[in-house]
Amino acid sequence: MKTVRRRGREEGSALIEFLLASIFLIFPLLLGTIVFGLSLVRANQVAEVCRDAGHMYAYGVDFSQPSSQNMLVQLAQGLNMTTSGGNGVVILSTVTLLAANDCVAGGFASGACPNLGQTVFTRRIVIGNSQLHTSAFGNPAGIVGSGGNIQAADYAASASAVASNFSSVIPLPAGQFAYVAEAFVVSPDFKFWGGNSYWSWISPGGISARSIF
């Protein structure tokens, strides 16, 4: 009988040890699986929003207008994005390879402007929380005017108008334009209940996507 009691006690101890191990091993694994599963869902949504924004931008939708910006926010429903804040940002850019005749349009002699032969921004529009993320190709600082347009004199001469490393992604021939959409979202799924903190120890930090037309 004593032996049976010892075995019963040993089995009970093993069960307790298993439950304790589950708390420290299985629960974090389960939580991580849920988080990265949600990340995958959000990544697909962000990619779709980015692709749709770039496609519409390339086809002439003017995203400097509030109505177009509100339409984009509707497409991003569930990502907690607004036209000027929230958890996401969409950066739209028009780029071109600066040729000799573009120097003339900027007020320089043909082939004599500082950015000759460089891929430059001719337009930039930012929708959402601009503090979250910056473009991988650069930021045309202080030269973006009304409607997101950049004057020829500025993109022909300003160093900040140069789209860094863009030619390594898509080489552009002179006279052609590329329409770029970049999206970045910090998923609301990683927020505590109503709080402002993020689970930085398991969150990937944000989800990004890029489309070029």
Give the model confidence (pLDDT) of 125-169 as tens digits.
Answer: 999 999 999 999 999 999 999 899 999 999 999 999 999 999 999
In this structure, is residue 3 part of a structural domain? no
19 within some domain: no
pLDDT of 86: 93
Residue 69: C-alpha distances to residues 31, 39, 150, 194 (Å): 35, 25, 20, 26
What torsion do the CA atoms of 29, 35, 38, 43 make, to the nearest 10 degrees?
A: -110
| 3-state helix/strand/coil string of 64-89 | CCHHHHHHHHHHCCCCCECCCCECEE
Mean pLDDT of 59-87: 94
Position 204 in a domain: yes
Query: Number of folded domains in the chain?
Result: 1
Q: Beta-strand (E) ranges in 30-158?
A: 88-97, 119-128
pLDDT band at 78 (very low <50, low <70, confident <90, very high): confident
Could you tell me the residue range of the domain that residue 88 belongs to?
A: 43-212
The DSSP output letter for 41 is H
Q: Is residue 29 part of a domain?
A: no
Classify residue 121: in a domain, yes or no. yes
| pLDDT tier at 40, thresholds 50, 70, 90 | confident
115 located within any domain? yes
Q: What is the mean pLDDT of the chain?
A: 84
Could you tell me the CA-to-CA distances from 139 to 25, 133, 143, 182 in Å, in that order? 44, 11, 10, 13
Could you report the per-residue pLDDT of 113-136, keeping only the tens digit for each? 999 999 999 999 999 999 999 999
In the sheet that holds 88-97, the strands lie side by side as: 119-128, 88-97, 177-185, 207-212
Q: Is residue 162 part of a domain?
A: yes
In a domain, residue 84? The reply is yes
Q: Which residue has the tokens 């177009």?
A: 68
